Structure 1
Amino acid sequence: MDNKKLSRIFIPKAGFYLLVILFLIVIITILNPLVAIPGFVLFIFLVIYNYKSNHIRNREITKYIETLTFNIDCATKDTLLNFPMPLVLAELDGTTVWYNSSFKGIFEDDNFLQRTVANLVTEIRPQLTEGDSINISKDVTISSRYYSVLGNLVKVDDNNDKESVIIMLYFVDNTDLINERQRFEDNKNTVGVIVVDNYDDLMQSLEDSKRPQMMAEIEKKITSWISHTGGILKKFERDKYLCIHAFKYLKELEEKKFEILETVKEINLGNKIPVTLSIGMGINAPTIVENLQNAYAGIDIALGRGGDHVVIKDGDNFRFFGGRNRELEKRTRVKARVIAYALRGLIDQAPSVLIMGHENADIDSLGAALGIYRIVKSRDKRVNIVLNHSNANIDSVLNKLAKEPEYSNVFVGRNEALDIITKKTLLIVVDTHRPSFTETPELLRMTDQIVIIDHHRRGADFIQDAVLSYQETYASSTCELVTELLQYLEEKIRLTSIETEALYAGIVVDTKNFIFKTGVRTFEAASYLRRQGVDTVSVKQLFQNDLKTYIAISNIVKDAEVVYDNIAISTCPTNIKNAQLIAAQAADQLLSLSGLVAAFVLSYHEGEVIISGRSLGEINVQMILEKLGGGGHLTVAGAQIENVSIQEAKESLKTAIFEYIDSLNKE
């Protein structure tokens, strides 16, 4: 043991010691040459011995390394051949060089093997650099099994002693993991709330003896629809049901477009109005309670869109189904009376009131704001209307208001409104429910008292935490809703002539002269305004076009492109003044042409492309324009698209129309 330690000490430094000995012999030679002769003989012997020892040692080391390399090569080859993970070597062009038995075993035929490897190499080659060994995140499915592919580059020597590069691919079998994950996803709970729309009106349309039979038939249809899922269906109110089933059945229900919506409409027991359902579903929440909350949120939106809807809430995302039928007018006015009393109480408690419509206000927004203004003034409260700027839609009404001293300080801009508002200010939002569409969205965050009065179908983006919401999609306009509220306040409010004209004009414009979305209550609201003294001729004069505008509308109609044989698309020239208003009127005019059931006109305004959509009811323009970020009603809708040209917006519109028509054809 000691000798081995000494040898390890001296062997690495033998050359140094020989030099020391030679130096000492030289010194002895100088002092006494005779004495130095034996020293030289001994030195030569040491040199020869050192040389032979090094030679023998190097030969043994080389032999050991060669033996070790051979053993490693054998172990490596044996490991690769019998490695349980599928391995394959391929050239950069995808040609298979070598593969182990595990890799061969995952394929059913050689052609599929060659094709798959070539495709994989082509896809992953740009992701690899020399010397890399990375997870390329490439998942493949082979013979119903799932693999993640790992790869790295390997240098090899060819016959010409030149280095080349090949790719080594490792196939990691993730089948069990993916199957387990899928089982987990499939068995998650989906919570749904089902509501019978217009329950009161439906029951009133039936004889007393048939009412229990109607509810039994509805419950039978719902039970039959949900039974194959093996889920739970529980009635918890007279018109509400709770259903819980596994998530894996939801895809099937979606593919069938929630056929229950159409199935219940077939029920006919003498009812004068069809049976419709609204369904809200919550999915992918951590708990059943949160899924239930999401389901209720979905129901709120479904009812806000007029019923006959399925709304699925997945986190912050919503999916919509149904809603292809017109909204049914509600005959009972109980809700209008309750809302009127609640609104009066909120006004009385507030120190001041702000009224705000949507951006680029139209006559419905302005008319509703003036109606609410008169209600607030009757309660002796400070009130202002937020309006940042005028436009062609409301210029004629604002010009009349400017001549009346009472309205001189009523309208305020963004900065003034921000100075006025406090946490206790009552903010009444009319003719919109979307925060981004309001005249000044910042105001919504500066008060806890928000009231919404709107007639549009509710979208996924809506004002949260309103203390009072009066959103009725059956109504022709917001002016109709406000007119009804005016009738239920205790005091007999007297409107000014300009206020009655604005409210009446809002109804006339949104109904296209009492043609679209016009129900009994629409005419009753118009009748109330007529008793208030509205001058219908003066209202007609508010919207008269000059010859230049009429020619512009005619040219837009003339240049329209017809797609799917019955849908017209046209564009408004960018150099036309009041392009947005002209585009809307052109869309209305296109619908008067025989054979057309829907029309879209695009215009450019202040960096945005604005789309006006109109329909006779066969095509749901709201669902089409929602794909572009817009909204509205089945027959009247709009959208605003930023940072695109009119041509780009037109192509996007065509794509949205195609997707809508395609979904109809699949049903």
Structure 2
Amino acid sequence: MDSKKLSRIFIPKAGFYLWVILFLVVIITILNPFVAIPGYVLFVFLVIYNYKSTHIRNREIAKYIETLTFNIDCATKDTLLNFPMPLVLAELDGTAVWYNSSFKCMFDDDNFLHKTISGIVEDIKPEMTEGDCISISKDAAINNHYYTILGSLVKIDNDNTEHSIIVMLYFIDNTDLINERQKFEDNKNTVGLIVIDNYDDLMQSMEDTQRPQMMAEIEKSISAWLAHTGGVLKKFERDKFLCIFAFKYLKELEEKKFEILETVKEIHFGNKIPVTLSIGMGINAPTILENMQNANASIDIALGRGGDHVVIKDGDNFRFFGGRTRELEKRTRVKARVIAYALRGLIDQAPSVLIMGHENADIDCLGAALGIYRIVKSRDKRVNIVLNHSNANIDAVLNKLGKEPEYSNVFVGRNEAFDIITKKTLLIVLDTHRPSFTETPELLKMTDQIVIIDHHRRGADYIQDVVLSYHETYASSTCELVTELMQYLEEKIRLTSIETEALYAGIVVDTKNFIFKTGVRTFEAASYLRRQGVDTVSVKQLFQNDLKTYIIISNIVKDAEVVYDNIAISICPSNIKNAQLIAAQAADQLLSLSGLVAAFVLSSHENETVISGRSLGEINVQMILEKLGGGGHMTVAGAQLENVPVEEAKGRLKSAIYEYIDSLNKE
């Protein structure tokens, strides 16, 4: 038996004793009835007494409970009436049933009060049961005060209708906390680096006597631009500035689209090229040092996008501003010579070399790969080119390579590359700087020796921890960069005919027959290839279309939709072969039409939609397609949208174009 149950036997109870007495009196009656008479009298007396005592005690307890309940009700009412926190009772439709004086003081008029309650109650699910705790996730801002709202449901009767439940809401004033938090956010440090683009070329383009005035005017403009921030501006190199100011001023600078970019372009002291700036900023890092590191990363991206950019790094996210100026060709070739020397050293010390371009390689990518292949072979090193599959862009060149015994074992697929690569293998990435765009991204993690040679504007996602980077956005193509490197190697490299054709074709295709992004160095690279014996007629034949393809391109041009009166959008039929190549050619063809400054052609490939963008320079197609996850240059760009139908992709493209045009109109 449980010890608690056993102990209850010994608890004195009047009823128990009365039963014991009755039992004893009955026994006495059996033994001697006359003697039991006084016992019955005593038993009746005790029963009556116990009844009266119990009744009186129960009445006193009831009275005590009533008094206690009244006192609690009074205390409850007094608490609700004088509760220091705003409190309101409302029905599920938002009608206020009762509120205390603290809640009344929150508002200037009753109408605004009712609207606020209705808005809050709409966030509460009517199917909640009694006792459920409700926490409104969003902070309510009322008359410059900020509140966190907590609440519970209360059932007021046994009726199951909607009106039987009311909502009790508590308003916790967080105004001081929010204000202090905002003050803390506003006063966080923003670290920025400002670089004068092409400083050397700018100074060389003007008279010696004008150079000090030019620099003084640039410094004056930058100082005036940041004067209202009360921050620090320090020049630490001839063309570099460091600035630190409070975070609250950054929003104002963003709203004005960093007007300093346009201000410095108006500075003229006999300079033949415009003044442009690149600005990189780091924000929201725990320390100034980390903000400085983010600013360095931002300035690298700004310069990698051709300058005239502002890049802001907030954690892992980047924001871009500017980029309306075309890249200026660098006159000095010092960097090309230094890169060539460094690349030769890396090749000599590597046990083997792998060359990898971007997925769905084009002729610029393949031509550059063949150029690097010849450089490595001249150093007597094992070299392979990673290529998982061919496509219409490079089929003609690969067919020619297939007839040459030398190239029989040069190209390797993904699995073969995994078997070849080691931590010491030199991996040369061409025509891309984004990990996800490479032919086999896994290879990037399998070696410590990575070299990048690219001419695309740098995006937020780029390959890090490289040993050598030759990233020049002014160049027309990667083939141009590789051709320049060849000229600075000590050995007299002799290219094969197919290699010269591929390199020359890469330049021709990316410049659209020496029309776009063509500078002096572009022609010099082409001249070097001509001296190597390139057959220009053979290159022309690589890209000849048959009559059927020409008709398809003409139909794409005919069906184009024009937006903003000067931007064409068309769709390539999905049931044709080499749709991506035809789409790119159709986009080029659209630009030949009068009045059009940009063109986009969409094509479907397996489970993705590919967009080819072309521009004459007035519209930055790179910035438009970056909104869709793509990239490229101001005049040539592309994007790939996985698992997105063509029509949906067209809608997204239109939205990106509208957003871009609106941003231009606001400037």
**Shorter-chain-normalised TM-score: which range?**
over 0.9
Residue in 2 aligned with 1:393? 393
| Cross-structure match for 1:637 | 637
Q: Sort the Cα spacing of 1:465 and 1:10 in 2 relative to 1 into closer, same or farther, 3 A.
A: closer
Aligned equivalent of 1:276:
276
Instruction: Report if aligned partners of 2:476, 2:518 keep a CA contact under 8 Å in 1.
Output: yes
Q: Equivalent residues in 2 for 1:412-491 (5 A)?
A: 412-491=412-491
Q: Secondary structure at the match of 2:164?
A: strand
Equivalence for 1:329: 329
Q: Distance in 2 between matches of 1:604 and 1:663?
A: 29
SS of aligned partner of 1:168: strand
Tell me how far apart the structure 2 counterparts of residues 10 and 381 of structure 1 sit (CA, whole Å).
Answer: 102
Kept in 1: contact 2:347–2:353 (CA 8 A): yes
Give unmatched runs, 5+ long, in structure 2: 1-7
Please tell me the residue identity of whatever aligns with 2:59. Answer: R
Residue 35 (structure 1) shift = 2.2
Residue matched to 1:594: 594
Paired residue type of 1:290: E
Measured in 2, the distance between the counterparts of 1:29 and 1:549 equals: 128
| Matches of 2:651 and 2:440, distance apart in 1 | 31
Whether 2:106 is the aligned partner of 1:100: answer no
Matching residue of 1:173: 173
Which string of whole-angstrom CA distances, capped at 9 and with x for unpartnered residues, describes residues 172-226 of structure 1?
1110000000000000000001000001100111111111111111100100001
Partner of 2:515: 515
Aligned-partner Cα distance in 2 for 1:645–1:10:
85
The offset of 1:10, in angstroms, is 9.1
Counterpart in 1 of 2:347? 347
Could you tell me how far apart the structure 1 residues matched to 2:274 and 2:126 are?
A: 60
Tell me whether 128-137 or 644-653 shows the greater mean CA deviation.
Answer: 128-137
Deviations 1:235-274 (A, max 9, x none): 0011100000000000000001110111000000010100
What is the identity, as a one-letter code, of the residue corresponding to 2:207?
E
Whole-angstrom CA distance in 2 between matches of 1:34 and 1:366: 131
How far does residue 18 in structure 1 lie from its aligned partner after superposition? 1.9
The match for 2:187 is 187
Distance 1:29-1:573 versus aligned 2 partners, 3 A rule: farther
* Residue identity (%): 87
SS in 1 for 2:168: strand
Give, in whole Å, the separation in 2 of the partners of 1:44 and 1:371. Answer: 124
Contact kept in structure 2, 1:137 and 1:150, CA below 8 Å: no
TM-superposed CA distance for 1:22, in Å, is 2.0
CA–CA separation in structure 1 for the residues paired with 2:11 and 2:356: 96
Following superposition, the deviation at residue 103 of structure 1 comes to: 0.5
In structure 1, the gaps of 5 or more residues are 1-7
Q: What is the CA–CA distance in structure 2 between the aligned matches of 1:296 and 1:162, rounded to whole Å?
A: 61
Deviation at 1:21, TM superposition (A): 2.2
1:4 corresponds to: none
1:480 Cα offset (Å): 0.5
Structure 1 CA distance for aligned equivalents of residues 124 and 588 of structure 2: 54
2:246 corresponds in structure 1 to 246
Shift of the 320–129 alpha-carbon distance from structure 1 to 2, 3 Å rule, reads farther
Q: How many residues align?
A: 660
Q: TM-score, normalised by structure 2?
A: 0.97
> Amino acid of the residue matched to residue 617 of structure 2?
G
In structure 2, distance between residues paired with 1:159 and 1:357: 73
- Does the aligned pair in 1 maintain the 2:92–2:126 contact within 8 Å? no
User: Which residue identity does 1:294 align to in structure 2?
Assistant: N
Is the contact between residue 155 and residue 163 of structure 1 (CA under 8 Å) also seen in structure 2? no
Q: Output the CA distance in 1 between the equivalents of 2:161 and 2:349.
A: 93
CA displacement, residues 17-55 of structure 1 (integer Å, 9 cap, x when unaligned): 222222222222222222222222222222111111111
Seen in structure 2, the aligned counterparts of structure 1 residues 436 and 72 have a Cα distance that, compared at 3 Å, is same
Q: 1:169 Cα shift?
A: 0.8
Q: Take 1:11 and 1:198, find their aligned partners in 2: how far apart are those partners?
A: 101
Q: Corresponding residue for 2:5? A: none
Q: Deviations over 1:383-420 (max 9, x none)?
A: 00000000000000000000001101100001111100
Task: Quote how far apart the aligned CAs of 1:160 are.
Answer: 13
In the alignment, residue 182 of structure 1 is paired with which amino acid?
Answer: Q
Letter of the 1:74 counterpart = C
1:410-447 Cα shifts (integer Å, max 9, x gaps)? 00001111100011110000000000100011111011
- Distance in 2, Cα, partners of 1:223 & 1:160: 70
Alpha-carbon distance between aligned partners in 2 of 1:147 and 1:503, rounded to the nearest angstrom? 66
Report the RMSD for the aligned CA atoms in angstroms: 1.7
8 Å CA contact 1:89, 1:166 repeated in 2: yes
Matched, 1:531 2:531: yes
CA deviation digits over 1:317-338, x for unaligned, max 9? 1111111111111111111111
Equivalent residue for 2:550? 550
Corresponding residue for residue 146 of structure 2: 146
SS at match of 2:545: coil
The secondary structure found in structure 2 opposite 1:235 is: strand
Change (3 A) 1:126 1:154: closer
How far apart, in 2, do the equivalents of 1:364 and 1:38 lie?
Answer: 127
Please state whether the residue corresponding to 2:94 is helix, strand or coil: coil
Which stretches of structure 1, 4 residues or longer, exceed 6 Å deviation after superposition? 8-12, 158-163
Q: Displacement of 1:595 after TM fit?
A: 1.4
- Tell me the TM-score normalized by structure 1: 0.97
1:480 and 1:531 mapped to 2: Cα distance?
Answer: 15
Q: 1:333 to 1:160 in 2, by over 3 A?
A: closer
The answer for the alignment partner of 1:611 in structure 2 is 611
The residue type equivalent to 2:200 in the other structure is D
Aligned counterpart, 1:42: 42
**Which aligned pairs between 1:488-503 and structure 2 lie closer than 5 A?**
488-503=488-503
Give the whole-Å Cα distance in 2 for the aligned partners of 1:456 and 1:220: 33
Match in the other structure for 1:75 = 75
- TM-aligned CA deviation for residue 135 of structure 1: 2.1
Displacement of 1:86: 0.6
Contact 2:476 2:511 in 1 (8 A): yes
Q: Distance in 2 between matches of 1:163 and 1:309?
A: 60
Residue 223 (structure 1) aligned with residue 205 (structure 2)? no
Of the structure 1 ranges 37-46 and 459-468, higher mean CA displacement relative to structure 2 is found in 37-46
Further displaced range: 341-350 or 154-163: 154-163
Superposed displacement of residue 11, structure 1: 8.6
Report the equivalent of 1:263.
Answer: 263
Amino acid at match of 1:604: S
- Output the CA distance in 1 between the equivalents of 2:368 and 2:161: 87
Secondary structure of the 2:628 match is coil
Corresponding residue for residue 196 of structure 2:
196
Report the Cα distance in structure 2 between the residues aligned to 1:638 and 1:154, rounded to whole angstroms: 59
> Which letter maps to 1:422?
T
Q: 1:444/1:158 Cα in 2 relative to 1: closer, same or farther (>3 Å)?
A: closer
Deviations 1:514-536 (A, max 9, x none): 11111111111111111111111
Answer yes or no: is the 8 Å Cα contact 2:123–2:136 preserved in 1.
no
Q: Say which SS state the counterpart of residue 617 (structure 1) adopts.
A: coil
Partners of 1:319 and 1:162 in 2: how far apart?
Answer: 49
- Partner letter of residue 218 of structure 2? I
- Distance in 2 (alpha carbons) for counterparts of 1:463 and 1:598: 30
What is the CA-CA distance between 1:98 and the residue it aligns to?
0.6
Question: CA offsets, 1:327-357, max 9 Å, x none?
Answer: 1111111111111111111111111100000
Q: Distance in 2 between matches of 1:370 and 1:646?
A: 35
- TM-superposed deviation, 1:128: 4.5
Q: Distance in 1 between matches of 2:215 and 2:486?
A: 36
Q: What secondary structure is seen at the aligned counterpart in 1 of 2:137?
A: strand
CA deviations over 1:526-557 (Å, ceiling 9, x no partner): 11111111111100100111122112111211
Q: CA deviation at 1:102?
A: 0.5
Query: Which moves more between the two structures, 561-570 or 364-373?
Result: 561-570
The question of whether the paired residues in 1 share the 8 Å contact of 2:449 and 2:467 is answered with: yes
Q: 2:162 & 2:240 partners in 1: Cα distance?
A: 78
Residue by residue over 1:571-626, the C-alpha shift from the partner in whole angstroms, topping out at 9 and shown as x without a partner, is 11221111111111111111111111111111111211111111111111111111
* Whole-angstrom distance in 2 between the partners of 1:381 and 1:101: 86
What is the letter of the counterpart of residue 370 of structure 1? L
Please report how far the alpha carbon of residue 161 of structure 1 lies from its aligned counterpart in structure 2 after TM superposition: 13
Helix, strand or coil at the partner of 1:459:
coil
- Cα distance in 1 for partners of 2:161, 2:418 equals 80
